[in-house]
A and B are shown apart, each in its own frame.
Chain A
Amino acid sequence: MNVPSKLMTMQQAMERHVQDGAMVLMCAQLEQNVPFAAGHELIRQRRKDLTLVAPISDMLFDQMIGAGCASRVMAAWVGNASAGAGYCFQRAVEEGKPRRVEVVDYSNMTLALALHAGAMGVPFLPTYATLGSDLLKKNGNLREFSSPVSEEKLIAVRALRPDAAIVHVQRADEYGNAHLWGSLGVAVDGARASRKVIVVAEEIVDAAVIASDPNRTLIPGFLVAGVVHEPWGAHPSPVQGYYGRDHETFSEYHDRSRRAEDFEAWLFERVLEAADRREYLRRIGDERTEKLTVKEHALSAPADFGD
């Protein structure tokens, strides 16, 4: 079997696979593996009218909303996990600046179930979560119904099928078969529910490396439209085994996004003027990346797949 390589640059992957108006799942692993490099490339490409989907988004959605890329957010939490509020998100929702963003509020579990339903190919899945809450009253994708097998109320969570999922992983082969570990969140369901998957990898490895541990292959290559090799592509979020969370950058962004004009300056300096990830990293500086690099490795015991 001759499968063509799917390797491409971040610029190519975002140009080809994420169009204006698309529904895009990002931040599927919650605070780990946030695909910042992909988000910044979408900002540079001036993508518009995106629907951003995530359970919680640690600062990336705030940046994309502040840059005017999104017209809708479907999420349970949009902010900065260690510092608190997302100021661009607040300005967009409260004042319509730089543009109005519609928010479809979920809880984490109902968002996860929406993606699970998408991944399972069913129109909805049931839950008790959100009963009695205003989330249920305001989110049209959550509907109360009577259980057909028991005498009780349930919520039907409508399936979500994002146009694209952007998933940052530790390692992948050039065909998109990906190993990821650590905080998984909704990455597995999210990738399966989405019509296209873009895998962004810290390392591109030989296909035999991935094949050596099929239980860790959580995204199969045949679902993947593009593979991007982007070391440090999740900074300032952490990637287990590669680098830690850069807490200072989260605090600094919190301060620099409080006022719209300061955010503009931040955006120019860190995203618009930095042509690619290499230039972004140059601006972060070697000292910072050296400090964040994992030095004390903790390898798992090998699993024997012998037959």
Chain B
Amino acid sequence: MSFPSTHRIEPAARSYTLAEMIVAAAAREVRDGELVFVGMRLPLLAFLVAQKTHAPGAIGIFENGVIRERPPATMLYTMGDPANVRGAALCGEMLDTMGLLQQGRVHVGLLGAGEADRFGNLNSLWGERHGQSRRLPGAGGACDIACLARRTVVMIPHERERLRVRVGHLTSPGYGEGEDWRRREGLPANSGPSAVVTTLGVLRFGLDGEARLSSIHPGVSVEDVLANTGWTLRVADELIETPAPNEDELAAIRELDPEGFWTR
């Protein structure tokens, strides 16, 4: 995935790409031993990085029915690559893994999205690109994960067209309109987005369901973030700087993606 350079933030002497930063930051949202529902593309890479660094006991479950306790031997382009099946803990059907998700067993889901809004709602159906409305591929399993995982971590390039005050289509629910919206809609208790990891920083959610800028990546200013966000983003009282990807994380990313297919 390449990120359009709408934001001209080039930290001096940076030894990693924005994609590597977002992958490392998202990987840190996975805790050791957790059951993780893994979305495609960068979320898949973030999960594998977590498994190869601080969370070797994390278990990945996939919508094609695969459950994996160990990283695959080679880089994955999709969850259906044969390397993801070989050595898997279990290969079942889609409803086997979706059932575990609906039971509430999945600690965290990792997702990408076309758009996210200030309550963490996601849109994967239609996006605005250069003022034109474009049909996107669709929600895939993202809606299921956003509805049912205990925590959801979203990975998205930080652009005004993608971080909107209100998503054009609500395909994967976050905190809806805020407050107790999820409960009123009938979604499970103790579920919902916990972080939106972008190319500029990390957003987290208050009890009111609204996103706050919680951390900014090295070399990024709060002004940069606000200028690239489609609403007046609240800033956490204890704003921190995201630690840059460390050696272990970069080594894992570059081992998993040696040609930089996802991260250059």
Contacts and interface: CB of A to CB of B under 8 A. Distances in A.
Given A183-B64, A183-B65, A113 B186 contact: no
Interface size class of B (residues with CB under 8 A): 35 or more
B169 A134 contact: yes
B141 A109 contact: yes
Nearest to B143: A107
Interface in A90-148: 90, 93-94, 103, 105, 107-110, 112-113, 116, 127-135
B94 A55 contact: yes
B77 A82 contact: yes
A238 B82 contact: yes
A63 interface: no
A257 interface: no
A199 B142 CA distance: 30
Given A81-B40, A245-B77, A183 B66 contact: yes
Given A109-B94, A184-B65, A131 B82 contact: no
A86 B137 CA distance: 7
A108 B144 contact: yes
A251 to B, nearest CB: 9
A85 interface: yes
Point out which of B80, B82, B98, B182 has the most chain A C-beta atoms below 10 A from its C-beta: B80
B209 interface: no
Contacts of B239: none
A168 B170 CA distance: 34
B187 interface: yes
Given A31-B81, A76-B140, A188 B135 contact: no
Contact of A132 (B64, B144, B147): B147
Given A113-B95, A184-B92, A135 B139 contact: yes
Interface string B88-128: 00011111001001100000000000000000000001000
A29 B125 contact: no
Point out which of B78, B138, B170 has the most chain A C-beta atoms below 10 A from its C-beta: B138
Given A55-B63, A135-B139, 6 more contacts: A79-B138, A130-B147, A133-B139, A183-B84, A189-B93, A245-B81
21 contacts: A31-B79, A55-B63, A55-B140, A56-B140, A75-B138, A94-B135, A103-B138, A108-B141, A109-B101, A129-B148, A132-B173, A133-B172, A134-B170, A135-B143, A182-B91, A183-B80, A186-B94, A189-B95, A238-B80, A238-B81, A244-B81
Interface of A: 29-32, 55-56, 58, 75-79, 81-82, 84-86, 89-90, 93-94, 103, 105, 107-110, 112-113, 116, 127-135, 152-154, 181-189, 237-238, 240-241, 244-245, 247, 250, 294, 298
> Which 6 pairs show the lowest CB-CB distances between chains A and B?
A31-B80, A79-B137, A153-B186, A132-B185, A107-B143, A77-B140
